[in-house]
A and B are shown apart, each in its own frame.
Chain A
Amino acid sequence: MTMVHTPLLLLPLALAAAAAIAAGFLRPRLAAFVGCGAAAAGFAAYLAMAGGVAEGVRATAPLLAVPTLGIGGGLALDGLALIFALLITGIGALVFLYSADYLGADRRLGRLSVMLLVFMLAMLGAVTADDIVLLFVFWEMTSLASFFLVGFNHTERGARQAALQALLVTGAGGLALLAGLLLVAGAAGTTSISGIIAARDAVLAAPTAVPAMLLVILGCFTKSAQVPFHFWLPNAMAAPTPVSAYLHSATMVKLGIYLLARFNPVYQDEVLWQTILTWFGLVTSATGAVLALRETDLKRVLAYTTITGLGTLTLLIGVAPAEAATAAMTFLVVHALYKAALFLVAGVVDHETGARDASRLGGLGRAMPLTALAACLAALSMAGLPPFVGFVAKELVYAVKLDGESSALLVGVGFLVNASTVAIAGVLSLRLFFGTRQPTPRAPHDPGLAMLAGPILLAGLGLIAGSMPGLLGDRLVGPAAAAMLGRPADVHLSLWHGPSVLLALSIATVAAGMAIFAAWGRIVPGMRRAAIVDVAGPAALYERGLARLLEIAAGTTRAIQHGSLRGYLRLLFAVAALATLATLLLRDGLRLPAFDAAGLDARALILLGLPVGAAAAALAPTVFVAILAMGLVGFTTAALFLVFGAPDVAFTQFAVETLLVVIFAAAIRYLPIRRRGYRQRRERVADATIAVGTGLAVTLALLAVLGTPYDSRLSDWFGDQSLAAAHGRNVVNVILVDFRALDTLGEITVLAIAAFAVTALLRPIPKDQTR
């Protein structure tokens, strides 16, 4: 494989970033068109590189390398990244165009454009990142963008809840992913993704290999709405329809699939990996297929079929045969095309009729023929009928399932899932646009070109790709499957295989689907009555868990942030005292210095002033008396400094004590200093206990310090160098202004800040600012 350094790879990201900034200053409609332009230009850039990628060239570009942290950074484009990048930019361009009319005169269109651009930037970064740190940052950025986009109608409670739910579920998964990626990177010795794949054996041999793999899977499952994390996706339909089409069907929810495919070369031979992906994928696709039949809201129906599609993709990554990679990548493209088209159609219907309940809509085809055309094209691809590309994909998927182990179960469930998909496709096309016309809040007609371009182009592509599957296979699916397998893939897509088991299966699927479609009107109410899903589903579990978490948080906050200063201080001192005492007594026993009577002299008498003054201050009936007692302690301290050879300190202490008296005297006039203490008796005992404990801890700690030999090297050095190096005889002053001048500078800065603060605090408040 050849590598090519190309700045072209950075262009789409740079365009998205620049457009996101510019869009904030532009008129809303113009902002949407700028977004469309940026996405289209990005699409063109990727398309320009597609030829090289198909020939096995790997395009790379540097981005955000932090060598000191061991982060290599960098982007890389291979087949897998390319397929995603084209979907992101291509569908993105159409979605921007669509939004311009969908939101129309709404002033929030500008905001939507900015956020969609940020999202596009993040998605492109995530799929082209060749570094797990970069990947993770972009991954989380998509979660955040999704949060803001789901909560776009933030005045509605439902939208806010859905946004929070999506963020919490994908965010929690993101944390798991981070942990997993770090473990993998640790085992591989590099954060580069290509490096990790190259170091496959080291990654698999590491003792943390299994937890790392499970964590990565967990992150991918939350993002791609696999059971049991699927519930956030239908709720995310609170977002505006262009957002649902873009984020929640075509791109973001496939990011988990992307990462599973990306790491598939590392794990593809692991039985655990295969087992988990296969069975969770199967259950997810079945869950989506069944729950889709409970819904009538167009967007929610589509959301559940998206879950089905995501489950199928996970399953395809999990099953072993190499053909599965081809099937997965083909289905990925197919699904993105028809699902985005159908979402956009649903948006058109909602926009033009004012209703989106499938059970109350019908016969719209006469009023909106072009929309009907787009819907039918997309639905045919979704149902998997020839000559649509959906047929190709369905055949491939069936083939893989027939080949593998437990094929009976896989094919059986797959058959039911596909039948349900066919039925839903029927609902979205036949039921909506044909049959009897149902009354709607607004008189519908086809929308303008901006809103039609997306659905028609995407649905039409399904037909075009179906008619030339070879091109799709060679140019896109082949390189992507190769990247997913870590070796060249032999891909031949074709529409017609001749009569076979597969064809029979396809015909049976369509027949079963039509049967379900015919009975749809009766099935849905029946399914809705199965309330067990609402009570026992993971969504209910999430609700209860979240409520409980908030209760615990509130309780903890009330318990430790009670707002009582005394409470905080009591806890602080009690913990400090107990921790000190415990350390002193438990660590290596308490060794106290011996009492040396010879060392005593008259200076000990001065020491007496401390306990006397302290006791008087503590027990003083009024603050005024306490101030006086405190003065005694202060002056005693100054005297101690003087007799223990510290005249500088002593004079400073004298000066400070004097100034304190002056300052207190100035303040006294305004303060209640004659007030008596008002502590209850029990409080006094508790406070005194804590106080004595703290005092004891300090005394014992000091004695423990005195019991160790003093290391006087530093003091000696200052004493030796004072005159020689700093030309000063007063060692204390020399330390302050010379040896440790930087410390002193910091200290006088603190003083100056205090002075500024006081001046600001006591400045009279101007009249107009008073409350």
Chain B
Amino acid sequence: MEILFAIAIGTVVTASVYLFLSRDLLRGLLGFILFGTAVNLAILLAGRVGPMRPPLVDAAVLGAGAANPLPQALILTAIVIGFGLTAFALILTLTAHREFGTTSVEELAEAETPKVPANTAAAATRREAA
């Protein structure tokens, strides 16, 4: 089961990286979300999976046979934070699109570049030194 789990996570990572590398900001954002999901699953798996019983204390202590509570606590906050960041990134994308009319990474890079080319500053220093 764990081996299958690891392989399944690997496929999600693969898809997320492929989307990340896209020219389109929106697809990149989807890659970001998928990557977060994969990481959450990886945390769950690294804490070992198996029991179906949730980590709720029936008697005095949790005892054996319940799922591991620690990764769950980590994942819970990670999900919500990831969601916050996703929404933030989406709004950034939206702002960029509104400003420059594109969500293409390359076109945005061009739109962002200041009028002076990046290497003029270095050239100026060079002239200075000469």
Do A and B associate with each other? yes
Contact A646 B61 (CB under 8 A): no
Q: How far is the CA of A265 from the CA of B125 in the complex (A)?
A: 43
Q: From B13, B41, B123, B128, give the contact of A695 (CB < 8 A).
A: B13
Whether A687 lies near B88 (C-beta < 8 A) is no
Partner of A563, one of B1, B18, B22, B118: B118
The answer to whether B66 and A646 touch across the interface, beta carbons within 8 angstroms, is no
B129 close to A543 (CB less than 8 A): yes
Taking a contact as CB atoms closer than 8 A, the residue among B23, B56, B70, B80 that contacts A715 in the complex is B70
A617 within 8 A of partner (CB): yes
Residues of A within 8 A of B33 (CB): 630, 634, 660
Q: Are B113 and A563 in contact (CB under 8 A)?
A: yes
Q: A565-B109, A667-B90, A672-B103 are in contact. Are A626 and B76 (CB under 8 A)?
A: no
Chain A residues whose CB sits within 8 angstroms of the CB of B14 once the complex forms: 614, 618, 691-692, 694-696
State the B residues within 8 Å of A (CB).
1-24, 26-28, 30, 33-34, 37-38, 40-42, 44-58, 60-63, 66-70, 72-73, 75-77, 79-88, 90-95, 97-98, 103-106, 109, 113, 118-119, 122-123, 125-126, 128-130
Say whether B2 contacts A623, CB under 8 Å. Answer: no
21 contacts between A and B (CB under 8 A): A543-B130, A565-B109, A604-B4, A610-B41, A627-B30, A630-B30, A644-B50, A644-B52, A646-B72, A660-B33, A660-B86, A664-B90, A671-B103, A679-B22, A691-B15, A695-B12, A699-B10, A714-B70, A724-B60, A747-B77, A761-B92
Find the residue from B11, B52, B61, B126 having the highest chain A CB count within 10 A: B11
In the complex, per-residue mask of A547-566: 1 if CB is within 8 Å of any chain B CB, else 0: 10011011001100101111
CA distance A455 to B103 in the complex (A): 71
CB < 8 Å: which of B10, B11, B48, B56 contacts A731?
A: B56
A600-B1, A646-B72, A703-B3 are known contacts. Are A751 and B9 too (CB-CB below 8 A)? no
Contact A712 B68 (CB under 8 A): yes
Chain A, 248-280, contact with B by CB distance < 8 Å: what is the 0/1 string? Answer: 000000000000000000000000000000000
User: Once the chains bind, are B20 and A719 in contact (CB under 8 Å)?
Assistant: no
What is the CB-to-nearest-CB distance from B106 to chain A, in angstroms, rounded to a whole number? Answer: 7
Output the least CB separation between B3 and chain A (Å). 6
A570 to B17, CA, bound (A): 9
CB atoms of B130 and A735 under 8 A apart: no
**Nearest Cβ on chain A to B82's Cβ, whole angstroms:** 8
Measured CB to CB, the closest approach of chain A to B95, in angstroms, equals 6
Whether a CB of chain B sits under 8 angstroms from the CB of A149 is no
Instruction: Evaluate contact between B49 and A677: CB separation under 8 angstroms.
Output: no
Residues of the B chain whose Cβ atoms lie less than 8 Å from the Cβ of A723? 57, 60-61
Contact B3 A645 (CB under 8 A): no
In chain A, positions 650-685 with a C-beta closer than 8 Å to chain B are 652-653, 656, 659-660, 663-664, 667, 670-673, 675, 677-679
Q: A residues touching B (Cβ–Cβ < 8 Å)?
A: 157, 160-161, 164, 543, 546-547, 550-551, 553-554, 557-558, 561, 563-566, 569-570, 573, 592-593, 595-596, 599-601, 603-604, 607-608, 610-611, 614-615, 617-618, 623, 626-627, 630, 633-634, 637, 640-641, 643-649, 652-653, 656, 659-660, 663-664, 667, 670-673, 675, 677-679, 687-688, 690-692, 694-696, 698-699, 702-703, 705-706, 710, 712, 714-716, 718-720, 722-724, 728-732, 735-736, 740, 743-744, 747, 750-751, 754-755, 757-758, 761-762
Specify which chain A residues have a CB less than 8 angstroms from the CB of B28 in the assembled complex.
565
The A interface, classified by DSSP as helix, strand, loop or mixed, is helix
Contact of B55 among A161, A546, A653, A732 (CB under 8 A): A732
A-B contact count (CB 8 A): 313
Shortest Cβ-Cβ A-B pairs, 5 listed? A645-B67, A719-B62, A695-B14, A699-B10, A614-B15
User: Is there contact, CB below 8 Å, between B128 and A617?
Assistant: no
Alpha-carbon gap, A667 to B96, bound state (A): 13
A563-B118, A761-B95 known, 20 other contacts, Cβ within 8 Å: A164-B128, A550-B129, A566-B106, A633-B12, A645-B54, A646-B44, A647-B54, A678-B23, A688-B18, A694-B13, A695-B14, A698-B42, A706-B48, A710-B47, A714-B70, A719-B66, A719-B69, A751-B84, A754-B84, A758-B91
Min distance, Cβ A695 to any Cβ of chain B, angstroms: 3
> Which B residues are CB-close (under 8 A) to A603?
1
Complex alpha-carbon distance, A678 and B24, angstroms: 8
CB contacts (< 8 Å) of B8 on chain A: these are: 607-608, 610-611
B75 touches A649 (CB 8 A): yes
- Measured CA separation A762–B106 after assembly (Å): 24
What are the residues of chain A within 8 A of B122 when measuring CB–CB? 550, 553-554, 557
Is the CB–CB distance between A698 and B79 below 8 Å?
no
Assembly CA distance A623 to B104 (angstroms): 13
Please tell me which one of the listed residues A600, A649, A690, A728 contacts residue B76 in the complex, with CB atoms under 8 A apart: A649
In Å, the complex CA distance between A751 and B87 comes to: 11
Taking a contact as CB atoms under 8 Å apart, the answer to whether B76 and A698 are in contact is no
Q: In the complex, A593 Cα to B48 Cα: how many Å?
A: 13
Contacts of A611 in B (CB 8 A): 8, 11-12
Whether B21 contacts A570 by the Cβ 8 Å rule is: yes
Partner of B84, one of A608, A750, A761: A750
Chain B residues in 8 Å Cβ range of A694: 13-14, 17
* A557 contacts B98, C-beta separation under 8 Å: no
A690, B87: Cα distance in complex, Å: 27
State in angstroms the CA–CA spacing of A647 and B77 once bound together.
14
Q: Which residues of B contact A652 (CB under 8 A)?
A: 76, 79-80
User: Would A731 and B87 count as touching, CB distance under 8 A?
Assistant: no
CB-contact partner of B88 in A645, A673, A719, A754, under 8 A: A754
Q: Are A719 and B91 in contact (CB under 8 A)?
A: no
Say how far A693's CB is from chain B's closest CB, in angstroms: 9
Given A690-B21, A698-B10, A706-B2, the answer on whether A644 and B49 have CB atoms closer than 8 Å is yes
A754–B6 CA distance with the chains assembled, in angstroms? 32
Q: Which of A618, A703, A750 contacts B18 (CB 8 A)?
A: A618
Cα A554 to Cα B117 in complex, Å, equals 12
Residue contact A617 to B30, C-beta cutoff 8 Å: yes
- Tell me the smallest distance from the CB of A373 to a CB of chain B, in Å: 43
Q: Is the CB of B79 within 8 A of A566?
A: no
Output the least CB separation between A664 and chain B (Å).
7
In the complex, how many angstroms separate the beta carbon of A503 from the nearest chain B beta carbon? 50
Our pick among A592, A626, A695, A758 for the contact of B11 (Cβ within 8 Å) is: A695
**Which residues does chain B contribute within 8 Å of A716, judged by CB atoms?**
62
Report which of B34, B52, B72 forms a contact with A643, defined as CB distance below 8 A. Answer: B52
Q: Which of A561, A599, A645, A710 has the most CB of B within 10 A?
A: A645
> Chain B's nearest CB lies how many Å from the CB of A370?
41
Assuming the contacts A600-B1, A626-B30, A653-B79, asked whether A731 and B69 have C-beta atoms less than 8 A apart, the reply is yes
CA gap between A623 and B130 in the complex, in Å: 52
Chain B positions within 8 Å of A554 at CB level: 119, 122-123, 126
A647 cross-chain contacts in B, Cβ below 8 A? 54
Q: Are B34 and A614 in contact (CB under 8 A)?
A: yes
Among A558, A634, A722, contact of B62 (Cβ-Cβ < 8 Å) = A722
Given contact pairs A623-B27, A724-B61, A593 touches B85 in the complex (Cβ within 8 A)? no
Q: Is the CB of A164 within 8 A of B34?
A: no
Q: Which B residues lie within 8 Å of A731 (CB)?
A: 55-57, 62, 69
Q: How far is the CB of A371 from chain B (nearest CB, A)?
A: 37
Q: List residues of chain B with CB within 8 A of the CB of A614.
A: 11-12, 14-16, 34
Task: Please give me the residue from chain B that is nearest to A729 by CB atom.
Answer: B57
The verdict on A617 contacting B19 (CB below 8 Å), with A554-B123, A735-B73 known, is yes
Give the interface centre of A593, A596, A653, A755 by most chain B CB atoms within 10 Å: A653
Counting chain B CB atoms within 10 Å of each CB, the highest count among A652, A688, A695, A710 belongs to A695
Contacts of B90 in A (CB 8 A): 663-664, 667
Interface centre among B21, B67, B83, B85 (most CB of A within 10 A): B21
Q: Roughly how many angstroms separate A81 CA and B53 CA in the complex, as a whole number?
A: 78
* A220–B36 CA distance with the chains assembled, in angstroms: 56
